[in-house]
Amino acid sequence: MNSKSFWGWSSTEALREGGESGGFVTSFLESIVGKYDNILAVRKTGTVFEGAVMSIDSKEDAIKTQGALHAVCMELSHYIKKGERTAIVLKPCDARAVIENMKRNHVERENVLLIGLNCGGTLPPVDTMRFIDNYFELAPEDIVKEEIAKGKIIFKTTSGKEFWKTIDEIEEEGFGRRENCRYCDVKIPSMCDIACGNWGTPAGKNITFVEVFTENGNNALEQAVREGFINVGEPSEKMIAVRSKINGIMKKMAGGWNKRIIGRLRNMPNEERLAYIKNVLSPCIACYACRKACPVCKCGDDCKCMQMDPDDSLPISIFHSIRLLHLTESCIGCGNCSDVCPVDIPLAHLHQLFARNYEKKTGYKPGMSIEDIPPLSRGDLPEGY
């Protein structure tokens, strides 16, 4: 089906005030309670820098998940179990991971309702705490809300004050969004059933812009409206244009970072790039945390990469070369590998370098649609043979 756009907001006044942009997602989750085996979302567990995955069993649970958490970088796709009907709230990279898992038969498409959130990037919690301490002299407990909007990163404090800096300014100083978010170019999760976000909504009105992509998403939304959980309205042409303009600006920004981070590696002479890769991988202590955290790595413990000796004297360990091979056609750039690495190897941009070069060559971008078959799994004959 063609995608449809709505403005949506919660019918409950308290949620409309308390939730993010009109509490649409919270109320939507309320409406599907009991209809799925598992409903997954992230909830705040302390300050805005701490969160945990929550399985929503009741309407009260749904309310606990309200509010966006930019500084909680969790990968939810790990929690989807095969054979269980699951609804899940996720950011675009998580959604791409779920799609990749669907292609590899680890998850069934018809069992999962993907509720996507538009994402301009996530914040690394520890660096962000350091940043607010350095620049605004704020403690993590002082922050009630953080936001990425209009090219700024905004922190709202308990006393009602707003502190902000532009994204560019923060990132020049080495703080700001996670590195993989800076060059990520998927801001609206078009592979989901529905995508929600505050881009293209009138300021101060507490409304969510909802784009519905699938029949499944459409049915769930219609049901939620029928049962009186949410209200929907027709968005104005102007605001639809505003939304795609913001998307364009974010993508352009991502393009700039892509040139700076991936492009720098791409343009190095071959020997230099090889030396760089060897060099950054050399501190690896073979803990396999990157593999464990990787949402698309699903070979299991029998994978060839696990049977290798980490102490061999090879220039690049076989573990990493196989992971680079496997992820060349499936890396979705979530950045989990860099996050979990105990010796701070910048794995995400290495994997993205390979994946983006391969994407340039074949036009295949992982995680965008379940119909896209990875080139290595196609049975056809490529041109020129």
Residue 358 near other proteins by CB under 8 A: yes
Q: Which is nearer to other proteins, 324 or 341 (CB)?
A: 324
Query: Which DSSP symbol is given to 2?
Result: -
192 contacts 114 by C-beta, under 8 angstroms: yes
Using CB under 8 A as the binding rule, whether residue 325 contacts other proteins is answered as yes
Q: Does 304 bind other proteins (CB under 8 A)?
A: yes
For the chain, the maximum distance between any two Cα atoms, rounded to a whole number of angstroms, is 68
Assess 137 for contact with other proteins (CB under 8 A).
Answer: no
Q: How far apart are CA 71 and CA 55, in angstroms?
A: 20
Kindly state whether residue 285 participates in binding other proteins, applying the rule CB under 8 A: no
Amino acid at 148: I
Q: Answer yes or no whether residue 321 interacts with other proteins by CB under 8 A.
A: yes
Q: How far is CA 135 from the centre of its chain?
A: 27
Which of 241, 286, 314, 343 touches other proteins (CB under 8 A)? 314
Rg (CA), the chain: 21
At closest approach, how far in Å is the CB of 271 from other proteins?
5
DSSP per-residue letters across 252-276? HHHHHHHIIIIIHHHTS-HHHHHHH
Binding pattern for the stretch 178-207 against other proteins, x by CB under 8 A and - elsewhere: ------------------------------
385 binds other proteins per the rule CB under 8 A? yes
Residue 306 is a binding residue for other proteins (CB under 8 A): no
Q: Which of 42, 76, 322, 334 binds other proteins (CB under 8 A)?
A: 322
Place of tokens 């020049």: 172
Residue type, 62: A
Per CB under 8 A, does 354 bind other proteins? yes
| Two tokens, residue 305 | 């990469």
The site for other proteins, by CB under 8 A, has a size of 33
Backbone angles phi, psi at 41, to 5 degrees: -155, 170
Contact with other proteins (CB under 8 A) among 274, 285, 286, 287: 274
Minimum CB–partner distance for residue 261 and other proteins (Å): 15
| Structure token digits, residue 131 | 């940043």
In angstroms, rounded to a whole number, what is the distance separating the alpha carbons of residues 287 and 25? 38
Give the interface with other proteins as residue ranges (CB under 8 A): 270-275, 277-278, 304, 314-316, 318, 321-322, 324-325, 328-329, 353-354, 357-358, 361-362, 375-376, 378-382, 385
